[in-house]
């Protein structure tokens, strides 16, 4: 009986042990599956987040400037929102728009010339008598009659020689006109490229500054750069930006110095005016009592610094 109980007890302990091992194995398997699912979910979330970032970093509209006019162009496809891609696509589209505009103007000019020639063939007297053309029809008729009389007195050989000379002269003039037209087209193309290049340089310089890209600021930058080029100095927008800022600040300072407070408040806005006034009051309260000697020294150093800056500016630009 004792042996039987022992056997039963041993069998029970073995079953319990096996059940415990099986339970632990099941829990471990479930833990691995849960970790795998979590890792897979994290990877999916990371992929979705990366895809969302890539999606957000793409654009479908560009701001263009053609012949000084700004416009917004919607692309038929999306491009990456990085400076190199945007600059390249903007430059290509601007050149394409400018070329299309030139082609349209040329086609319109050809149409007008063709219409004029057709009207001239139908009724030359009416067209030539137009005061805007500036031709005296009677004088022209007299000149033609005189030429016919003079040609009637010439020999066939002389007439043939003059005809060939006139044809050669006409061909030479035609070739010269073609060459001049090509030169003008090339000059216009290079001018457009340089205009866009300088516009991009100015835009980049202004983006990193506290000045707005307004016609007033851009004109001042262009004036300083032109002044430098006239003096034989290659000046970039970054070089002239401090000078433009200083000139604008001086202009505003001189203008506000003679204006009543209410006019200044209307120009800059009530909120800005109040904020500046509060800032100055707080600064005055926080500042220590000035010492006379230090005031003199500071004023002298400021005056010396200002004189040095003005001298450097004049030497740099030769004015």
CA 192, CA 67: separation in Å to the nearest integer? 8
What pLDDT, on the 0 to 100 scale, is given for residue 168? 93
What string of H, E and C letters represents the secondary structure of the chain? CHHHHHHHHHHHHHHHHHHHHHHHHHHHHHHHHHHHHHHHHHHHHHHHHHHHHHHHCEEEEEEEEECCEEEEEEEEEEEECCHHHHHHHHHHHHHHHHHHHHHHHHHHHHHHHHHHHHHHHHCHHHHHCCCCCCCCHHHHHHHHHHHHHHHHCCCHHHHHHHHHHHHHHHHHHHHHHHHHHHHHHHHHHHHHHHHHHHHHHHHHHHHCCCCCCCHHHHHHHHHHHHHHHHCCCCCCHHHHHHHHHHHHHHHHHHHHHCCCHHHHHHHHCHHHHHHHHHHHHHHHHHCCCCCHHHHHHHHHHHHHHHHHHHHHHHHHHCC
Q: What is the pTM of this model?
A: 0.35
Q: Could you say which residues of the chain have pLDDT below 70?
A: 1-56, 287-319
Tokens of 297: 């020294």
What pLDDT, on the 0 to 100 scale, is given for residue 278? 81
What pLDDT, on the 0 to 100 scale, is given for residue 169? 92
Please name every residue paired with 62 in a beta bridge, in sequence order, or none if there are none. 73
**Is there a contact between 103 and 113 (Cβ–Cβ < 8 Å)?**
no
């Amino acid at each position: 009986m004792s042996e039987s109980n022992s056997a039963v007890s041993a069998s029970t302990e073995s079953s319990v042990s096996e059940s415990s091992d099986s339970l632990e194995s099941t829990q471990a398997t479930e833990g691995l599956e849960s970790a795998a699912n979590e890792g897979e979910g994290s990877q999916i979330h990371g992929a979705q987040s990366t895809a969302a970032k890539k999606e957000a970093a793409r654009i479908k509209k560009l701001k263009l400037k053609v012949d000084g006019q700004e416009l917004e162009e919607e692309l038929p496809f999306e491009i990456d929102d990085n400076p190199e891609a945007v600059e390249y696509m903007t430059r290509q589209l601007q050149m394409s728009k400018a070329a299309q505009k030139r082609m349209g103007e040329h086609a319109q000019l050809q149409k007008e010339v063709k219409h004029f020639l057709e009207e001239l063939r139908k009724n030359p007297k009416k067209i030539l008598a137009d005061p805007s053309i500036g031709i005296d029809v009677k004088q022209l008729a007299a000149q033609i009659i005189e030429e016919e009389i003079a040609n009637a007195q010439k020999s066939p050989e002389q007439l043939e020689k003059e005809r060939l000379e006139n044809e050669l002269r006409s061909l030479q003039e035609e070739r010269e006109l073609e060459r001049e037209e090509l030169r003008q087209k090339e000059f216009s193309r290079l001018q457009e490229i340089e205009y866009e290049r300088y516009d991009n340089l100015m835009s980049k310089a202004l983006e990193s500054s506290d000045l707005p890209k307004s016609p007033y600021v851009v004109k001042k930058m262009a004036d300083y750069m032109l002044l430098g080029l006239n003096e034989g100095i290659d000046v970039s927008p970054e070089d002239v930006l401090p000078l433009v800022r200083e000139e604008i600040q001086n202009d505003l300072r001189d203008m506000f110095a003679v204006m009543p407070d209410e006019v200044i408040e209307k120009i800059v806005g009530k909120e800005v005016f109040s904020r500046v006034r509060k800032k100055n009051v707080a600064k005055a309260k926080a500042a220590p009592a000035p010492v006379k000697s230090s005031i003199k020294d500071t004023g002298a150093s400021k005056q010396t610094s200002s004189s040095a800056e003005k001298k450097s500016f004049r030497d740099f630009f030769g004015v």
